[in-house]
Amino acid sequence: MASARPITAAALAAAALGLAACGGSGDDEAKPLGPQLGGSVAPLADCGDWRGGGKDRKLATIEDIRNQVNRTDTHVTSPPLSDEEAMQLFDGECKRSYARGFRLYVLYARAAGFAPLLREESPFRR
Show the site string, 78-107: x = touches other proteins by CB under 8 A, - = not: x-----xx--x---xx--xxxxxxxx-xxx
User: Is 14:32 a contact under the CB 8 Å cutoff?
Assistant: yes
Pairwise CA distance, residues 104 & 123, whole Å: 24
Contact between 8 and other proteins by CB under 8 A: the answer reads: no
Could you tell me how many residues make up the chain?
Answer: 126
Pairwise CA distance, residues 60 & 13, whole Å: 10
Contact between 73 and other proteins by CB under 8 A: the answer reads: yes
User: Is 43:105 a contact under the CB 8 Å cutoff?
Assistant: yes
Contact between 13 and other proteins by CB under 8 A: the answer reads: no
Contact between 33 and other proteins by CB under 8 A: the answer reads: no
Which positions lie near other proteins, rule CB under 8 A?
1, 4, 16-18, 36-40, 42-44, 46, 67-78, 84-85, 88, 92-93, 96-103, 105-107, 109-111, 113-114, 116-120, 123-126
